[in-house]
Amino acid sequence: MKKIAQLFIVAFIASVITSFGFIFFNQEDKTYTIKHIDSAPVVGAAYTVNHNGEVVPLQFTDVSKKVMDAVVHIKSTHIQGSQSRQKVPSPFRDFFNDNMLKDFFGPHFKFEQRTPQQRGPYTRVGTGSGVIISSGGYIVTNNHVIDGAEDIEVSLHDNRVYKAKVIGTDPTTDLAVIQIKERKLAHVPFVNSDDVEIGEWVLAVGNPFNLNSTVTAGIVSAKGRNINILQSQSAIESFIQTDAAINPGNSGGALVNLKGGLIGINTAIASPTGSYSGYGFAIPSNIVSKVVEDIIEYGFVQRGYMGITIRSVDGNFAKEKDLDVTEGVYVDSLMTKSSAKEAGLQKGDVIVKVNKNKIKTSSDLLEIIGQHRPGDQLLVGVNRLGKDKEFEITLKNEQGESKINSINQKDILYKLGAEIIEVDKEKASKLDVPTGLMIRKLNSGILRSQTNIKEGFVITHVNGKRVESLKELKTILKGKSGGVMLKGVYPDYPGQYYYAFGIDE
């Protein structure tokens, strides 16, 4: 036992000596050189060129400062649900109102439906964004942000607050122009949206969730997107898609490039929840600038038409029709007096180019047409039975004329903003309505801004007087100043309805 104990002690001492020797002879130099973070290399960063021409890590501070002063917060107040103030639900509603987290977009979602029979007025306050486009107080926003609003309030980045006047709207592009009584304002310049490239860095500036002056960054993830959200037969959908975070309240805000140029107006998101899920959509600036110019100069949009029905070409459709191309726009039919037919286009032609722009989808074609007015000439390239041909087409207006629509701005129908037709006994019998005057189409004007009257409404009385002709309507309203009450019916609903509005001198 004594020998065993001695051997154990010797082994223990040897192991201790070995351990200390290993630590002593193998210890590393623990002295480190500490570098200030500013001098450390930037690994994996994106780079850009600053205003001094220096290559620096990508940052958005300069462009954010430049743009934020020109993006405003819009609060619109709506009175809904009364007999005289009916409202058709908008697919954009939850993009800017207080119920922002309710269902949004798509077949699985439901919106509150209020028919003319339902009564009980209530006030809804919606919020959105807008972009100052000139020093004269003009602001562009989405039509759905201000549509039917009784009161529009605009807050600037520096917290100044103004009441706004609606200059004009265009539901087919979901754009509107409003104006405030302030001059010498910071504004964002338009740039050519055709030059925008997929993968390009962009900033979205707006007021999501009432969080004023919010800037998010992302890239252009696609162009020419059609998401079938605009409820109009002549709607133009060719959105710029971005992954810059866009949420309810961004609607009407700016999508800008890194030079601070306006490339689009943020309009919609694709999301199962109503909140950001990676996909936002903006109206290209080339469409915006044309619509804005038309509204300011003419009072409404001057829309050009080719007079054709179309559909996009893909691989399966090309096989079905035995086409020689798998991209383009197929001419499905032509109207009798269409400008395309007069120029020589035929059913079965595939439009592949307009001017110098390649056409891949219907959205591409609609975007280009939407940038032009009646009377403009386009060089259209088509593929016909495998052969390329070119045709010069002169666009026409809705009435089939190659000229700008001229309207007497003092005319009462222009002020009302309505296209009104007479309903004679024969037509009244078919519609099961009294004779009167039907509102065939609503444009920018008193009826759209002051009431929630809908297209199809048949006017039977004005201020208690029976009307059956446009002449009678104009006689009653000639020189009228103050309140006006319309009484009438809808072909699809029982009962009579009333709409009140005011006419300024």
What string of DSSP letters covers 301-367? ----B--EEEEE--HHHHHHHT-S-SSSEEEEEE-TT-HHHHHT--TT-EEEEETTEE--SHHHHHH
Residue 207 and residue 61 share a domain: yes
**Least reliable range by pLDDT among 27-31, 153-157, 501-505:** 27-31
Which of 249, 271, 300 is the last residue before a domain boundary? 300
Residue 84 and residue 175 share a domain: yes
488: in domain: yes
The pLDDT tens digits of the residues spanning 152-185 come to 999 999 999 999 998 888 888 999 999 999 888 9
Domain range holding 344? 308-394
pLDDT at residue number 225: 87
31: in domain: no
19: in domain: no
Residue 293 and residue 220 share a domain: yes
pLDDT at residue number 30: 47
pLDDT at residue number 490: 94
Please check the confidence at residue 502 and state whether its pLDDT lies above 80: yes
Which of 259, 274, 300 is the last residue before a domain boundary? 300
The pLDDT tens digits of the residues spanning 66-108 come to 999 999 999 998 765 544 444 444 444 434 443 333 333 333 3
**307 to each of 48, 85, 400, 461, 484, how far by Cα in Å?**
46, 36, 9, 37, 39
pLDDT at residue number 80: 59
**Least reliable range by pLDDT among 159-163, 178-182, 363-367, 400-404:** 400-404
Residue 486 and residue 337 share a domain: no
Residue 407's pLDDT band (cuts 50, 70, 90): low
**Of 40, 51, 58, 149, residue with least CA distance to 96:** 149
The pLDDT tens digits of the residues spanning 189-203 come to 999 999 999 999 999
176: in domain: yes
Q: Provide the mean pLDDT of the chain.
A: 82
**Least reliable range by pLDDT among 89-98, 411-420, 482-491:** 89-98
Which of 247, 265, 300 is the last residue before a domain boundary? 300
Question: Looking at residues 210-214, what average pLDDT do you find?
Answer: 85
Residue 352 and residue 269 share a domain: no
Number of H helices, E strands in the chain: 11, 27
pLDDT at residue number 418: 86
Exposed/middle/buried for residue 436 (C-beta within 10 Å: 0-12, 13-18, 19+): buried
Residue 21's pLDDT band (cuts 50, 70, 90): low
Exposed/middle/buried for residue 110 (C-beta within 10 Å: 0-12, 13-18, 19+): exposed
Half-sphere exposure of 28 (CA within 13 A, CB side): 3
Residue 264 and residue 160 share a domain: yes
Residue 170 and residue 87 share a domain: yes
Residue 211 and residue 80 share a domain: yes
User: Higher pLDDT residue, 168 or 342?
Assistant: 342
Please check the confidence at residue 441 and state whether its pLDDT lies above 80: yes
Residue 342's pLDDT band (cuts 50, 70, 90): very high
The pLDDT tens digits of the residues spanning 442-465 come to 877 788 878 889 999 999 999 999
Please check the confidence at residue 123 and state whether its pLDDT lies above 90: no
Q: How many domains does the chain have?
A: 3
41: in domain: no
pLDDT at residue number 278: 83
Please check the confidence at residue 327 and state whether its pLDDT lies above 90: yes
Residue 145 and residue 245 share a domain: yes
Hey, how many other C-beta atoms are within 10 angstroms of the C-beta on 279? Answer: 18
Residue 399's pLDDT band (cuts 50, 70, 90): confident
The pLDDT tens digits of the residues spanning 302-323 come to 889 999 999 999 999 999 999 9
pLDDT at residue number 468: 93
Task: Kindly report the CATH number assigned to the domain that includes residue 458.
Answer: 2.30.42.10
Q: Which residues are annotated as a binding site for substrate?
A: 144, 174, 249-251
Task: Kindly report the CATH number assigned to the domain that includes residue 180.
Answer: 2.40.10.120
**63 to each of 119, 140, 157, 270, how far by Cα in Å?**
48, 20, 15, 27
pLDDT at residue number 232: 63
The pLDDT tens digits of the residues spanning 368-396 come to 999 999 999 999 999 999 999 999 999 99
pLDDT at residue number 120: 52
pLDDT at residue number 66: 92
Residue 271 and residue 209 share a domain: yes
Residue 356 and residue 453 share a domain: no
Could you list the active site residues?
A: 144, 174, 251
Judged by DSSP in three states, 168 sits in strand
User: Higher pLDDT residue, 311 or 275?
Assistant: 311
**499 to each of 11, 290, 464, how far by Cα in Å?**
106, 32, 12
**356 to each of 218, 250, 353, 380, how far by Cα in Å?**
29, 33, 7, 9
171: in domain: yes
| Percent with pLDDT over 70 in the chain | 79
39: in domain: no
